């Protein structure tokens, strides 16, 4: 039951689709010669309820419209396809030269009005051959064996005469003929040196089309189509295409009645060689960004990761999809900058590219596989892909989104294995670049100004020297002043003491005890004062004792000094007139002074 | 009338003032900012404006070199690093970037080995810049003078002995640093080396076009200038080779 319903539904749907897909197509050769008869056909895929042909004013209608119908039913793997065609045919004759158009025909199918395509037909002057043929079909035609080159030739046609490296060029190999062709023999296709070539699928059978070339009508067939991607910048030459053609020509040898009757047509062979074609290939501009990998055309990119969270030592795949048209197959893989600590494997490339006329387009998928070896949050920076845009004639850089990746510690690897220590890794240097600019600036100086030769610098030296000399001079002068007096005194000390002692000895002889003690006291006191450079006013026994000790005088001598001074001072107020005592004191003073002279004189050279 | 003249003068003064207000330090700060933003070309023009005012220091040349490096003008980067290096021979960053920029040049020249004493002295000299040596010299000179005074006037034998020893040591330092300061200054002022700017230049055997080609130099190579003759200059490479190249093919450091 269900099956039946299904079948009914299917039939219904197919009939509906049929009704929907009804088309009407007009066909006529686009070029005809003056006086030539040709067919104009309208082909419908369903029976029309009405058909309104356009008015044909520019051509003579010789016959028609005649209708014919054709039905075919195809069964492939149980699938039934039914095709119906209805054809209206006119036979027309061109009567005037020029370009004429035939308006669209209108038909009504199942109540829907459909329109055919409009046609334009060019009528050219009839060539000599045709006229001759028409007038005198049996009489002389160029002999079939030596067919002129313009009757039958092959050519390679490119859609561009100049292109950038990597810009697709469509090259078509065509055959032009004005004679009947019986077949092709060996063909030698060009090698396209300097190009990367891709054949575009064309129809298996060569279909001829009438084309007007410089007022001559040729039947033109496309043998093969290629899409060429230039690989280097220079004038590239496409080497010629060679083909051996078997064509039909008028027989030259037999004149028998039968031959005449059968048309006298014979097959001939001719080797055809196309004219060389050259294309000027331009270099891409120099300012290519680093992420340019040779892609030319128009693209889009999309980058995805298969996971955003994974454990260490698990693989993550970044899939980069490049979609667009151009030389995608030749473009290299853009670089994906994985964070440090990811182990990279070679990227896997796969492409799905359709080559059609004009361009090749499709998708290229590149899979980058990486294994993180350490845990943490990472971000795979945006993938950059640069291509050369042919319309803008400039480089375009595309950036994908940044892809965050969280890497967790793989606990399973750690369990059961004791980690005794971390393996040390060398610091990895990933890139090399200059160090950053200095942000703190020292003082700007005029060019070629140096401290060492500046006036101020030399001036400071002069000042230093002057200060040095001035200090030297002043200090030594001060010293001199200070020392002059004491030196004189010191030098004279002994003399004065000797003088006083002499005086004392005179007094001793005169038994003038008072004077004697005074002189001794004066001699000793004055001597030490002069020798020690102590002003008389500051003189006292303590000070003298201290100074003497400082200058290395024996303690015994100092005691002796004090004793003599005491004796003298005592005697001055209570003079002891003992002659022998005075004599001894004189002797003691004399020895003491000479002792002092020795010690103090020596000490002087050690000081300062 | 006088008022009008006065106004005109004030206006001229104001315009001049505003022009001069483009203070070098401000230009440098602006250039540093532009560099950080990646606008290297603009940064270069600002740095060059400061150089054009006849002002310099090691940091300025270093930053200018960096900006040139970023726009891949390697010879210009090298010449500015070299200038910075001359002004501040002991700066690590300058040396690093100069060495890195040199790896981008084509010519690989085997440097002739120097006598170890010469390189030792040179290394010692490059510890400080000319100005630093000058300051060291003047400081030690002042100390020497002070110590001479101590030596002369002190009464203490100990002080005199130490003063004498230190003074002798310091006077050696004074002489050495003064010599270093002057020799570093001369290096900068004499400008006896140059960097090749022409992409390719062939060194000739004589100072004219007909001379035989001896060797080929590429942009970024440092040469020592020996003597100029007309439009040509004899240059010496680090490996000791000599040849004549046109004056237009290089720029003095």
Q: Select from B41, B142, B151, B190 the residue whose CB has the most chain A CBs within 10 Å, as the one to mutate to test that interface.
A: B142
How would DSSP label each residue in B68-86?
HHHTT-HHHHHHHHHHHHH
In angstroms, the Cα distances linking A59 to A34, A63, A102 are: 10, 12, 10
DSSP helix/strand/coil, B250:
strand
Largest pairwise CA distance in chain A: 203
Note the residue count of chain A: 608
What is the Cα–Cα distance from B25 to B41, expressed in whole angstroms? 19
Looking at chain B from residue 31 to 70, which residues have their Cβ under 8 Å from any Cβ of chain A? 32, 35-36, 50, 54-60, 62-63, 66-67, 69-70
What is the Cα–Cα distance from A288 to A404, expressed in whole angstroms? 29
Note the helical H segments in A126-231.
Answer: 128-135
How would DSSP label each residue in A558-601?
HHHHHHHHHHHHHHHHS----HHHHHHHHHHHHHHHHHHHHHHH
Find the radius of gyration of the CA atoms of chain B. 25
What is the Cα–Cα distance from A206 to A307, expressed in whole angstroms? 52
Q: Report whether pLDDT(B9) > 70.
A: no
- Cα angle for residues B110, B114, B119 (degrees, 5° grid): 125
Nearest partner of A335 among A271, A424, A431, judged by Cα: A431
Of A434, A445, A468, the CB nearest to B56: A445
CB distance A315 to A369 below 8 Å:
yes
- What pLDDT, on the 0 to 100 scale, is given for residue A429? 65
Give chain B's mean pLDDT: 84
Where do the structural domains in chain A lie, given as residue ranges?
2-128, 145-282, 292-414, 485-606
Burial class (CB in 10 A: 0-12, 13-18, 19+), A364: buried
Q: Does A450 touch chain B (CB under 8 A)?
A: yes
Q: Does A465 touch chain B (CB under 8 A)?
A: yes
Of B50, B134, B153, the CB nearest to A475: B153
In angstroms, the Cα distances linking B247 to B105, B221, B231, B250 are: 20, 15, 6, 6
Of A433, A447, A460, the CB nearest to B54: A447
- Cα angle for residues A100, A106, A109 (degrees, 5° grid): 155
- What pLDDT, on the 0 to 100 scale, is given for residue B17? 46
| Residue A436: closest C-alpha in chain B | B66
What is the Cα–Cα distance from B82 to A233, expressed in whole angstroms? 39
For A218-245, what is the mean pLDDT? Answer: 85
CATH fourth-level superfamily of A2-128:
Immunoglobulins (2.60.40.10)
Nearest partner of B76 among B85, B87, B67, B88, judged by Cα: B67
Q: According to CATH, what is the number of the domain A485-606?
A: 1.20.120
CB contact under 8 A, B25 and A447: no
User: What ipTM does this complex have?
Assistant: 0.73
Q: Which residue has the tokens 């005037």?
A: A96
What is the Cα–Cα distance from A347 to A340, expressed in whole angstroms? 17
Q: Report whether pLDDT(A306) > 50.
A: yes
Query: pLDDT band at B173, cuts 50/70/90?
Result: very high
- Taking phi first (over 0 means left), then psi (-120 to 50 degrees means alpha), and beta for anything else, what does residue A376 get? left
Looking at the whole model, is its pTM more than 0.80?
Answer: no
What is the Cα–Cα distance from A335 to A383, expressed in whole angstroms? 7
For B54-58, what is the mean pLDDT? Answer: 85
On whether the A145-282 domain is CATH 2.60.40, my answer is yes
CB contact under 8 A, A446 and B182: no
Residue A444 with chain B: CB contacts under 8 Å: 24-25, 28, 50, 55-57, 60
Nearest partner of A293 among A319, A330, A318, judged by Cα: A330
Q: In what order do the strands lie in the sheet with A376-380?
A: A309-311, A403-408, A376-380
Q: Does B135 touch chain A (CB under 8 A)?
A: yes
Q: According to CATH, what is the number of the domain A292-414?
A: 2.60.40.740
Q: Does A455 touch chain B (CB under 8 A)?
A: no
What is the Cα–Cα distance from A54 to A102, expressed in whole angstroms? 7
CB contact under 8 A, B56 and A450: no
Tens digit of each residue's pLDDT (9 = 90 or more) over A447-474: 777 888 888 888 999 999 999 999 989 9
| Beta partners for residue A71, in sequence order | A84
**Higher confidence at residue B21 or residue A75?**
A75
- What pLDDT, on the 0 to 100 scale, is given for residue A9? 58
Tens digit of each residue's pLDDT (9 = 90 or more) over A391-450: 888 888 888 888 888 888 776 654 444 444 555 666 666 677 888 888 887 778 787 778
In angstroms, the Cα distances linking A122 to A95, A209, A432 are: 11, 13, 69
Among A63-72, A174-183, A258-267, A371-380, the least confident range: A258-267
What is the Cα–Cα distance from A208 to A562, expressed in whole angstroms? 154
Same fold, A292-414 and A485-606: no
What is the Cα–Cα distance from A320 to A336, expressed in whole angstroms? 9
In angstroms, the Cα distances linking A505 to A15, A512, A520 are: 173, 10, 9
Q: Does B148 touch chain A (CB under 8 A)?
A: yes
CB distance A390 to A296 below 8 Å:
yes
Nearest partner of A69 among A88, A85, A58, judged by Cα: A85
- What pLDDT, on the 0 to 100 scale, is given for residue A134? 42
Query: pLDDT band at B132, cuts 50/70/90?
Result: confident
CB distance A93 to A123 below 8 Å:
no
How would DSSP label each residue in B157-196?
HHHHHHHHHHHHHHHHHHHHHHHHHHHHHHHHHHT-EEEE
Nearest partner of B246 among B234, B94, B236, judged by Cα: B234
CB contact under 8 A, A450 and B130: yes
Q: Which residue has the tokens 């300062």?
A: A608
Residue % of chain A over a pLDDT of 90: 2
């Amino acid at each position: 039951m269900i099956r039946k319903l299904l079948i009914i539904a299917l039939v219904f749907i197919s009939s509906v689709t049929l009704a929907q897909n009804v088309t009407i197509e007009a066909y006529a050769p686009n070029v005809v010669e003056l006086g030539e008869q040709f067919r104009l056909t309208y082909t419908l895929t369903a029976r029309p309820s009405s058909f309104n042909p356009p008015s044909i004013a520019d051509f003579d209608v010789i016959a028609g419209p005649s209708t014919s119908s054709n039905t075919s039913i195809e069964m492939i793997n149980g699938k039934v396809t039914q095709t119906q065609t209805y054809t209206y045919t006119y036979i027309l004759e061109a009567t005037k030269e020029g370009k004429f158009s035939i308006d669209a025909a209108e038909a009504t199918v199942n109540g829907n009005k459909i329109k055919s395509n409009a046609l334009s037909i060019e009528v050219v002057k009839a060539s000599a051959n045709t006229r001759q043929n028409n007038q005198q079909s049996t009489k002389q035609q160029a002999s079939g064996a030596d067919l002129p080159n313009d009757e039958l030739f092959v050519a390679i046609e490119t859609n561009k005469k100049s292109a950038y490296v990597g810009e697709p060029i469509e090259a078509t190999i065509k055959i032009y003929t004005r004679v009947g062709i019986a077949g092709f023999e060996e063909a030698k296709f060009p090698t396209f040196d300097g190009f990367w070539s891709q054949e575009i699928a064309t129809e298996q059978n060569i279909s001829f089309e009438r084309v007007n070339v410089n007022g001559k009508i040729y039947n033109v067939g496309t043998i093969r189509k290629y899409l060429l991607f230039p690989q280097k910048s220079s004038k590239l030459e496409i080497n010629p295409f060679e083909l051996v053609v078997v064509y039909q020509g008028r027989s030259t040898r037999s004149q028998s009645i039968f031959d005449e009757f059968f048309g006298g047509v014979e097959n001939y062979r001719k080797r055809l060689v196309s004219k060389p074609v050259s294309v000027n290939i331009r270099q891409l501009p120099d300012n290519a960004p680093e992420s340019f990998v040779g892609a030319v055309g128009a693209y889009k990119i999309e980058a995805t990761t298969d996971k955003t969270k994974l454990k260490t030592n698990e693989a993550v795949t970044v899939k980069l999809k490049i979609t667009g048209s151009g030389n995608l197959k030749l473009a290299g893989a853009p670089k994906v900058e994985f964070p440090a600590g990811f182990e990279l494997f070679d990227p896997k490339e796969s492409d799905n590219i359709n080559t059609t006329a004009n361009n090749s387009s499709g998708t290229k998928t590149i899979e980058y596989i990486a294994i993180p070896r350490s845990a943490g949050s990472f971000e795979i920076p945006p993938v950059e892909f640069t291509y050369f845009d042919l319309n803008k004639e400039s480089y375009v850089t595309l950036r994908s989104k940044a892809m965050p990746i969280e890497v967790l510690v793989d606990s399973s690897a750690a369990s059961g294995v004791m980690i005794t220590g971390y393996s040390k890794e060398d610091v990895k240097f990933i890139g090399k670049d200059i160090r950053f600019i200095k942000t703190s600036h020292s003082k700007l100086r005029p060019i070629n100004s140096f401290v060492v030769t500046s006036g101020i610098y030399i001036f400071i030296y002069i000042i230093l020297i002057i200060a040095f000399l001035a200090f030297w001079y002043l200090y030594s002068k001060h010293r001199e002043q200070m020392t002059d007096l004491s030196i004189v005194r010191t030098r004279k000390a002994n003399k004065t003491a000797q003088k006083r002692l002499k005086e004392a000895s005179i007094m001793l002889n005169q038994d003038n005890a008072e004077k004697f003690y005074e002189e001794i006291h004066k001699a000793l006191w004055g001597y030490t004062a002069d020798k020690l450079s102590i002003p008389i006013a500051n003189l006292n026994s303590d000070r003298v004792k201290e100074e003497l000790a400082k200058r290395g005088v024996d303690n015994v001598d100092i005691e002796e000094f004090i004793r003599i001074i005491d004796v003298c001072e005592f005697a001055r107020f209570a003079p002891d007139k003992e002659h022998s005592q005075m004599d001894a004191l004189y002797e003691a003073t004399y020895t003491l002074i000479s002792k002092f002279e020795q010690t103090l004189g020596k000490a002087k050279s050690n000081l300062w | 009338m006088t008022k009008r003249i006065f106004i005109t003068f004030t206006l001229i003064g104001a315009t001049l003032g505003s022009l001069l207000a483009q203070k070098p330090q401000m230009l440098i700060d602006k250039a540093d900012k532009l560099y950080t933003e990646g606008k290297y070309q603009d940064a270069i023009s600002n740095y060059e404006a400061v150089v054009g005012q006849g002002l310099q220091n090691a940091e300025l040349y270093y930053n200018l070199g960096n900006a040139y490096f970023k726009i891949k003008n390697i010879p210009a980067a090298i010449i500015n690093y070299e200038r910075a290096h001359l002004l501040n021979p002991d700066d690590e960053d300058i040396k690093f970037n100069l060495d890195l920029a040199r790896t981008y040049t084509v010519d690989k020249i085997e440097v002739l080995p120097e006598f170890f004493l010469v390189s030792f002295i040179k290394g010692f000299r490059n510890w400080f810049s000319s100005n630093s040596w000058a300051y060291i010299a003047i400081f030690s000179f002042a100390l020497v003078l002070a110590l001479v005074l101590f030596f002369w006037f002190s009464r203490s034998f100990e002080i005199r002995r130490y003063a004498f020893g230190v003074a002798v040591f310091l006077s050696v330092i004074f002489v050495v640093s003064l010599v270093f300061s002057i020799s570093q200054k001369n290096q900068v002022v004499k400008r006896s080396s140059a960097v090749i700017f022409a992409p390719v230049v062939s060194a000739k055997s004589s100072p004219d076009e007909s001379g035989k080609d001896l060797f080929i130099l590429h942009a970024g190579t440092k040469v020592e200038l020996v003597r100029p003759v007309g439009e040509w200059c004899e240059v010496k490479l680090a490996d000791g080779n000599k040849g004549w190249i046109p004056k237009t093919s290089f720029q003095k450091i």
